[in-house]
């Protein structure tokens, strides 16, 4: 017995895996060794977690982390905003107010922690569409930050459709898109919606309409807060953005009920309470990508030629356009998404009346395409 134990200790010592496991699961030592086993497993898991977290942190080394930000939120404001304040859409946003600060930081953290992939998509598309959208906004004297409203509304998708029936890049509901203002042609935002096209899905048309609608609410629409306080428009881009989401009448009614004139002091529906801070948060993230560790994949800027007032002699299918342009029908449709994909054609007539079309084609192909249409009999030769 003694010699056997001595042999075991020299050939298969007490730390040999076979002996260790045997002793680990013997009846007398199971409880104590189970504790040791549990500690070892927890140690391995903790070590792995630290390694994973360290790896995640290394991908965005300049971003603030839990131990360095305030209020238990991972992401705070960049130092230059803390020092100089926050200006957004021609407003000095009062981030020194605890409630305002909290609402914006909560949205920054929500976007970066819960919706980071969506933010990357939004910023990629914003960079691509910026040369088209921002000049239109500026034409109506709107702040360039309104480009981020389209991101929140539709993710820059021309075919986006909400559960409430809002559609297109700027999410107009059909009734609003078709009515327009009374006696105010300068701000007429009406769009054509027929069984073969919907201008809410056209980037240029819908951006013009959204800009006019926003400008009208901000400068023209009568806002009556009391018998002695009637003004032309909200004259406040944050209230205007809130009205774009909730409707101008609802925002006005809440302003009256609470005797408030600032967006931050008007209790609004939950969605609208989040809408404006999220808009601001996205703008802050976009302008401080390195700080927040956001690396936006490069993408070419959207560009195309626009042919106006094209009157066709016969129907023009997307497949025929693709052959003339040397591309695919899908590319043709993606440039002309106001035409439903189940139509895939520019009709020559609506009933008996000829139609004047606006057609988008790949950049640099416009002049040649016009000549090709005439040569193929799609338009009359001049």
* 102-121 tens-digit pLDDT: 999 999 999 999 999 999 99
What pLDDT score was predicted for residue 69? 54
Nearest Cα to Cα of residue 247 among 227, 223, 230, 226: 223
What pLDDT score was predicted for residue 12? 42
Phi, psi of 171 (to 5 degrees): 55, 50
What pLDDT score was predicted for residue 227? 65
- Work out the pLDDT band at 382, boundaries 50, 70, 90: low
Give the residue-averaged pLDDT of 327-336.
95
Helix-, strand-, coil-residue percentages of the chain, each rounded to 5? 55, 10, 35
For residues 320 and 322, what is the distance between their CA atoms, to the nearest angstrom? 5
Give the residue-averaged pLDDT of 122-141.
97
Task: Look at strands 316-317 and 345-346 and give their pairing.
Answer: antiparallel
Query: Is the Cβ–Cβ distance between 266 and 103 less than 8 Å?
Result: no
Question: In this predicted structure, which of 178-182, 327-331, 356-360, 375-379 has the lowest mean pLDDT?
Answer: 178-182
- Work out the pLDDT band at 75, boundaries 50, 70, 90: very high
Does residue 64 have a pLDDT over 70? no
Q: What is the pLDDT of residues 3-29, one digit of tens each?
A: 333 333 333 444 444 544 444 445 444
Report the mean per-residue pLDDT for the chain.
86
Cβ of 127: how many Cβ atoms within 10 Å? 18
- Work out the pLDDT band at 230, boundaries 50, 70, 90: confident
Share above pLDDT 70 across residues of the chain, in percent, rounded to a whole number: 81
Overall pTM surpassing 0.85 (yes/no): no
DSSP H or E segment with residue 33? helix 30-59
> Tokens representing 62?
């300049």
Does residue 314 have a pLDDT over 80? yes
- Work out the pLDDT band at 300, boundaries 50, 70, 90: confident
Does residue 175 have a pLDDT over 60? yes
Phi, psi of 346 (to 5 degrees): -95, 110
| CA distance to 120, 216, 223, 325, 372, per residue, from 250 (Å) | 33, 16, 11, 48, 52
Q: What is the pLDDT of residues 132-158, one digit of tens each?
A: 999 999 999 999 999 999 999 999 999
Does residue 2 have a pLDDT over 60? no
What pLDDT score was predicted for residue 76? 97
Does residue 335 have a pLDDT over 60? yes
What pLDDT score was predicted for residue 6? 36
Nearest Cα to Cα of residue 336 among 316, 360, 356: 360
């Amino acid at each position: 017995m003694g010699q056997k134990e001595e042999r075991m200790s020299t050939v298969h010592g007490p730390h040999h895996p076979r002996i260790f496991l045997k002793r680990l699961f013997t009846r007398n030592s199971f409880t104590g060794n189970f504790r040791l086993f549990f500690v070892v497993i927890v140690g391995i898991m903790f070590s792995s977690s630290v390694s994973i977290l360290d790896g995640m942190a290394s991908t965005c080394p300049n971003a603030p982390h839990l131990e360095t930000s305030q209020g238990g939120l991972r992401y705070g404001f960049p130092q230059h905003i803390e020092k100089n304040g926050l200006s957004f859409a021609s407003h000095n946003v009062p981030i020194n107010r605890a409630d305002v600060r909290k609402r914006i930081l909560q949205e920054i953290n929500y976007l970066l922690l819960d919706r980071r992939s969506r933010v990357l998509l939004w910023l990629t598309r914003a960079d691509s569409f910026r040369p088209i959208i921002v000049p239109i906004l500026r034409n109506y004297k709107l702040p360039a930050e309104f480009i981020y409203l389209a991101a929140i509304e539709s993710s820059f998708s021309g075919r986006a459709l909400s559960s409430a029936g809002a559609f297109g890049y700027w999410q107009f509901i059909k009734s609003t898109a078709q009515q327009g203002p009374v006696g105010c042609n300068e701000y007429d935002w009406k769009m054509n919606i027929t069984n073969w096209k919907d201008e809410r899905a056209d980037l240029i048309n819908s951006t013009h309409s959204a800009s006019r609608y926003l400008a009208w609410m901000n400068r023209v629409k009568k806002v009556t807060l009391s018998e002695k306080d009637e003004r032309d428009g909200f004259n406040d881009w944050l209230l205007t953005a809130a009205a774009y989401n909730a409707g101008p009448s609802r925002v006005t009614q809440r302003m009256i009920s609470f005797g408030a004139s600032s967006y931050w002091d008007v209790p609004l529906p939950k969605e609208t309470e989040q809408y404006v801070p999220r808009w601001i948060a996205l703008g802050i993230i976009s302008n401080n990508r390195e700080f927040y560790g956001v690396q936006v994949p490069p993408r070419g800027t959207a560009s195309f030629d626009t042919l106006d007032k094209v009157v066709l002699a016969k129907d023009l299918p997307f497949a025929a356009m693709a052959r003339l342009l040397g591309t695919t029908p899908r590319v043709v449709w993606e440039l002309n998404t106001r035409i439903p994909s189940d139509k895939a054609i520019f009709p020559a007539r609506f009933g008996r009346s000829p139609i004047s079309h606006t057609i988008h084609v790949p950049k640099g192909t416009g002049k040649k395409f016009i000549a090709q249409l005439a040569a193929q009999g799609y338009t009359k030769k001049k």
